[in-house]
């Protein structure tokens, strides 16, 4: 195909871009968790294409469809980097289109980037409709026509729009007028991406991650995760719940001192229940996986008790003594001894706050215990 043929067929390329966008948009909406900010599509303007071909010395080309990959193009703009990652890992593009991997480009910023464009982040696929779709009458005219699909975040989209109107379309200066100013513009565009947009994207991602943790923790909190730890049907469910509690709920209590006793009690009971619950394989469509063990639940439970240890030294010691006699393995015995060591060890931050009170209270607690009782087994 040459330039004149493209001008005649441009409407078909515009329709192809619209079709690709429609397929992608519908698929994305059906997939929960993807935040799509906007979509764009277009067929390349003839005048813009002509200038590009002249610049590349290909105005007379007869293989335009392979020389220029974005005759039809669409852009998916997501809010954050995690949205882009979820889209890419969803395999939506591969499932719905054939991909020309030789012309597909993945752009990531490089620390030694010499030009502004090398700081740009984008995933640019070159795709065409699959034969099953072009076999249908309404899509047959798109057979063997390619479309570029750009996947970007909102911040990178803003930068690319500005770069398109400045760097990409920069005038021919021939080293006689404005060259130093143009170099300064490119340098500033590079600095904007490096100093502002990349850090902003990272900060947006942290905000989103914190919000998702908060939302997940609030859901567990409202469901009453602590009582549920004891009533789980098996250790697979119990391990998932105690792990999610440790990650999404425990760090975000506004008044941890007021609930630490309830947390500790629930964790102790969860370990005891785990010891009496047989290990059950995890069933998956691809076969069974090893079920969660008492040791795995104990590890998370001990971490929780360790984090709460200074809120009530005596109660923490009691919890360890309560669980130690019933250990089912050498590993579990060692893990509770580690928790006892963590409780008794000298911590400089704690010493600055209360001096030797932790060690003093532990000694007094041990003195008050009857020798030979189960509590003294540690």
Q: SS in 3 state form for the chain?
A: CCHHHHHHHHHHHHHHHHHHHHHHHHHHHCCCCCCEEEEEEEECCHHHHHHHHHHHCCCCCCCHHHHCCCCEEEEEEECCHHHHHHHHHHCHHHHHEEECCCCCEEECCCCCCCCHHHHCCEEEEEEEECHHHHCCHHHHHHCCCCEEEEEEEHHHHHHHHHHHHHHHCCCCCCCCCCHHHHHHHHHHHHHHHHHHHHHHHHHHHHHHHHHHHHHHHHHHHHHCHHHHHHHCCCHHHHHHHHHHHHHHHHHHCCCHHHHHHHHHHHHHHHHHHHHCCCCCCECCCCCCECCCCHHHHHHHHHHHHHHCCCCCHHHHHHHHHHHHHHCCCHHHHHHHHHHHHHHHCCCHHHHHHHCCHHHHHHHHHHHCCCCCCHHHHC
Q: What is the pLDDT of residue 85?
A: 82
What's the gap between Cα 309 and its chain centre?
A: 32
Domain boundary among 174, 203, 232: 203
The answer to whether residue 217 sits within a structural domain is no
Burial 115-124 (b: 16+ CB within 10 A, else e): ebbebbbbbb
pLDDT in tens, 84-106: 888 888 889 999 999 999 999 87
Q: What is the pLDDT of residue 286?
A: 66
Over range 147-155, report the average pLDDT.
Answer: 89
Residue of 93, 2, 94, 83 lying closest to 35 (CA atoms): 83
Q: Are residues 265 and 187 in the same domain?
A: no
The answer to whether residue 213 sits within a structural domain is no
Q: What is the pLDDT of residue 31?
A: 81
Residue 264 tokens read as 């500790």
Return d(Cα 265, Cα 269) in angstroms, integer: 6
Q: Are residues 69 and 169 in the same domain?
A: yes
Return d(Cα 319, Cα 267) in angstroms, integer: 9
CB 69 within 8 A of CB 29: no
Residue 189 tokens read as 């565009």
Q: What is the pLDDT of residue 230?
A: 80
Backbone angles phi, psi at 149, to 5 degrees: -115, 115
Q: Are residues 253 and 303 in the same domain?
A: yes
Q: Are residues 302 and 177 in the same domain?
A: no
Percent of the chain with pLDDT over 90: 43
Domain boundary among 169, 203, 237: 203
Q: What is the pLDDT of residue 41?
A: 93
Distances in Å between the alpha carbon of 54 and those of 3, 86, 163, 167, 255? 11, 39, 21, 18, 69
The answer to whether residue 216 sits within a structural domain is no
Question: In the predicted model, is pLDDT for residue 115 greater than 50?
Answer: no
Q: Are residues 124 and 176 in the same domain?
A: yes
The answer to whether residue 273 sits within a structural domain is yes
Domain boundary among 170, 203, 236: 203
For the chain, give the number of residues.
Answer: 378
Q: Are residues 261 and 341 in the same domain?
A: yes
Query: By residue range, what is the domain housing residue 352?
Result: 224-377
Which tops the pLDDT comparison, 221 or 345? 345
Q: Are residues 178 and 300 in the same domain?
A: no
pLDDT tier at 116, thresholds 50, 70, 90: very low
Q: Are residues 229 and 199 in the same domain?
A: no
In sequence order, the β-bridge partners of residue 289 are 282
Sign of CA pseudo-dihedral 181, 186, 192, 194:
negative
Q: Are residues 250 and 195 in the same domain?
A: no
Q: Half-sphere exposure (CA, 13 Å, Cβ side) for 31?
A: 17
pLDDT in tens, 26-74: 999 888 777 888 899 999 999 989 988 998 899 999 999 889 999 999 9
The answer to whether residue 338 sits within a structural domain is yes
What's the gap between Cα 145 and its chain centre?
A: 34
Residue of 152, 160, 133, 161 lying closest to 16 (CA atoms): 133
Q: Are residues 339 and 234 in the same domain?
A: yes
Question: In the predicted model, is pLDDT for residue 110 greater than 60?
Answer: no
Q: What is the pLDDT of residue 347?
A: 81
């Amino acid at each position: 195909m040459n330039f004149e043929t493209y001008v005649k067929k441009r409407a078909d390329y515009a329709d192809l871009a619209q079709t690709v966008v429609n397929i992608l948009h519908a698929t994305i909406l059906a997939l929960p968790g993807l935040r799509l900010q906007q979509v764009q599509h277009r067929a390349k303007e003839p005048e813009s294409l002509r200038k590009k071909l002249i610049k590349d010395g290909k105005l007379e080309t007869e293989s335009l469809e392979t020389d220029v990959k974005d005759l039809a193009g669409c852009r998916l703009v997501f809010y954050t980097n995690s949205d882009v990652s979820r889209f890419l890992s969803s395999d939506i593009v591969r499932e719905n289109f054939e991909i020309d991997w030789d012309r597909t480009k993945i752009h990531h910023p490089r620390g030694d980037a010499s030009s502004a464009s090398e700081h740009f982040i984008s995933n640019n696929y070159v795709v065409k409709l699959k034969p099953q779709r072009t076999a249908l009458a309404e899509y047959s005219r798109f057979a063997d026509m390619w479309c570029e699909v750009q996947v970007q975040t909102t911040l990178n989209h803003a930068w690319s729009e500005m770069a398109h109107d400045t760097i990409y379309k920069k005038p021919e200066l021939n080293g006689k007028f404005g060259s130093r100013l143009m170099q300064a513009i490119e340098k500033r565009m590079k600095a904007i991406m490096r100093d502002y947009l990349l850090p902003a994207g990272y900060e947006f991602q942290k905000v989103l991650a914190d919000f998702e943790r908060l939302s997940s923790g609030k859901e567990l909190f409202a469901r009453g995760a602590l009582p549920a730890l004891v009533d789980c049907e098996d250790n697979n469910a119990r391990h998932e719940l105690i792990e999610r509690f440790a990650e999404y709920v425990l760090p975000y209590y506004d008044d941890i001192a007021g609930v630490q006793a309830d947390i500790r009690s629930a964790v102790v009971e969860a370990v005891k229940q785990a010891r009496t619950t047989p290990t059950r394989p995890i069933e998956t469509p691809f076969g069974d996986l090893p079920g969660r063990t008492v040791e795995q639940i104990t590890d998370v439970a001990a971490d929780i008790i360790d984090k709460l240890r200074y809120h009530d030294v005596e109660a923490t010691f009691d919890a360890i003594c309560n669980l130690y006699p019933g250990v089912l393995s050498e590993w579990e015995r060692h893990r509770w001894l580690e928790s006892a060591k963590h409780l008794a060890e000298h911590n400089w931050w704690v010493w600055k706050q209360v001096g030797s009170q932790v060690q003093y209270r532990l000694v007094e607690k041990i003195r008050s215990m009857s020798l030979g009782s189960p509590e003294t087994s540690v």
